[in-house]
Amino acid sequence: MSTVLVIGAGGVSSVCVHKMAMNAEIFSSIHLASRTKRKCDAIAESVKERTGQDVATYEIDAEEVPAMVNLIRKIEPSLVVNLALPYQDLPIMDACLEAGVSYLDTANYEPKDEAKFEYKWQWAYHDKFREAGLMALLGSGFDPGVTSVFTMWLKKHKLKSIRQLDILDCNGGDHGQAFATNFNPEINIREVTAPARHWEKGEWVETPAMSVHHRFDFEAVGERNAYLMYHEELESLAKFVPELERARFWMTFGDEYIKHLTVLQNVGMTSIEPVKYQGKEIIPLQFLAAVLPKPETLGETTKGNTNIGCIATGEALDGSGEKTFYIKNICSHEAAYEETGNQAVSYTTGVPAMIGSAMMVQKIWTGAGVFNMEEMDPDPFMEMLNEHGLPWSVEELDGPVEF
């Protein structure tokens, strides 16, 4: 029995709030606040129709710390679940500290004026959360989130040490649009246009964005081009799995997506440098995000599956030499939409946000300070993935990836 306050009313929030309402024995009182109250009300209405549960809604600018503190004090939740944008992470953490409540998010902090995400800003809050006796759990989505838990599960149950890790994220869904992103377009485009970076022999190796790719045959999707990218869990995995010789992240993109992105980049539409337009300053990428299809509107038309997993090679726990395991989840866009009214990219993030919240409010995962998913026992989280719509499988491969 617990009271939670969810911030943000996009696709990820919608899934998380629906799933919380489906687990009313864990989340007995759900409160939802965002910049646009109408969007909170629409989620609450759908939740009521689908589950019969009530969700209380509020309007809030999460960057206004005093207003956030007042809202938290009024609701008295045991947890604040931040499903707004990475820009709001630090103000929401400040508000949690002031109001004395624990915190969870799905994406690490990113300053608005620099396309750079890193854990350093949030890790710097560790002592403040520890001294306040509060817990902050970072990155409880799919990637980061489940991919970190998958890796730690392999380390607990299959491999004594992990030498090589490849995270493969394939969205095989087709939304029928010429160009659209499956989660917040501004954050998504900032991520994919940043230089690629992977961990190798104790240091970061940088390559130009989208310059390295390989074909990979994804179960339930088929062959796709997977592009080397930087992704935030590489930073925490390199820290918490120190023996890693190499860790890489791959994401699939279709030729149409790459073609559109290349043109948009070439004409300057993905820039975050302000430009003057008719006497007003605008940021091209924010304008582009405003004209692109809203991710939460893609659910109805998206067909196909996502397939996200980790391939890890290392010394087997049972002493049988070097082994390679592939652990993954396959999620259907149509099934996700039928259950929650949202496509699978929101679903695969919103469900782990609900599970991370369940771990915290039930005190299965505890601690005082700022934590990454790698620091927690993977088993109870993995059990809940199987029970709440994201079943996973693990298989042994003949050897390490060939690329």
DSSP-derived secondary structure letter, 27: -
Residue 279 to residue 284: CA distance in whole angstroms: 15
Q: Quick one: which of 141, 172, 309, 314 contacts ligand NDP (CB under 6 A)?
A: 141
Q: For the stretch 38-74, what's the b/e string if a residue is b when 16 or more beta carbons lie within 10 angstroms of its beta carbon? A: ebbebbbebbeeebebebebbebebbebebbbebbee
Tokens, residue 269: 């539409």
Q: Cβ closer to ligand NDP: 250 or 324? A: 250
The stretch among 11-19, 119-127, 251-259, 393-401 that binds ligand NDP (CB under 6 A) is 11-19
Closest CB to ligand NDP belongs to which residue? Answer: 10
Binding string to ligand NDP for residues 305 to 334, with x set by CB under 6 A, is what?
A: ------------------------------
- Kindly state whether residue 85 participates in binding ligand NDP, applying the rule CB under 6 A: yes
In the complex, minimum distance from the CB of residue 94 to ligand NDP, in angstroms, rounded to a whole number: 13
Dihedral through CA 258, CA 261, CA 262, CA 263, nearest 10? 130
H helix intervals, 22-64:
37-51
Least Å distance, CB 399 to ligand NDP, is 29
- End-to-end alpha carbon distance in the chain: 48
Convert 179-216 to b/e letters by CB count within 10 Å (16 or more is b): bbbbbbbbbbbbbbbbebbbbeeeeeeeeebbebbeeb
Residue from 22, 84, 101, 382 that binds ligand NDP (CB under 6 A)?
84
Lookup result for tokens 């790719």? 213
Q: How far is the CB of 39 from ligand NDP (least distance, A)?
A: 5
Contact 354, 19 (CB under 8 A): yes
Task: Rule CB under 6 A: choose which of 77, 295, 299, 304 binds ligand NDP.
Answer: 295
**Are 93 and 72 within 8 A, CB to CB?**
no
- Nearest approach in angstroms of CB 139 to ligand NDP is 6
Using the rule CB under 6 A, give the single segment among 19-27, 79-87, 266-274, 374-382 that binds ligand NDP.
79-87
Residue 149 binds to ligand NDP (criterion: CB under 6 A): no
Q: From the list 5, 6, 10, 305, which residue makes contact with ligand NDP (rule: CB under 6 A)?
A: 10
The nearest distance, CB 192 to ligand NDP, in angstroms, is: 13
H, E, C per residue of 330-379: EEEHHHHHHHHCCCHHHHHHHHHHHHHHHHHHCCCCCCCEEEEHHHCCHH
Q: Determine how many CB atoms are found less than 10 A away from the CB of residue 367.
A: 17
DSSP class of residue 88 equals: G
d(CA 226, CA 240): 25
**Residue 9 interacting with ligand NDP (CB under 6 A):** yes
User: Of 151 and 324, which has the nearer Cβ to ligand NDP?
Assistant: 151
Pattern 38-77, ligand NDP, x by CB under 6 A: -x--------------------xxxx--------------
Spell out, one character per residue from 101 to 140, where the chain touches ligand NDP: x when CB under 6 A holds, - when not: -----xx-------------------------------x-
Q: Does position 145 bind ligand NDP by CB under 6 A?
A: yes
What is the nearest approach in angstroms of ligand NDP to the Cβ of residue 348?
Answer: 7
Q: For ligand NDP, which residue of 2, 29, 57, 88 counts as binding (CB under 6 A)?
A: 88
CB nearer to ligand NDP: give 77 or 314: 77
Beta-strand ranges (E) seen in 91-158 are: 102-105, 135-138
Coil, helix or strand at residue 394: strand
> What is the binding site for ligand NDP (CB under 6 A)?
7-13, 34-36, 39, 60-63, 83-86, 88, 106-107, 139, 141-145, 183-184, 187, 295-296, 349
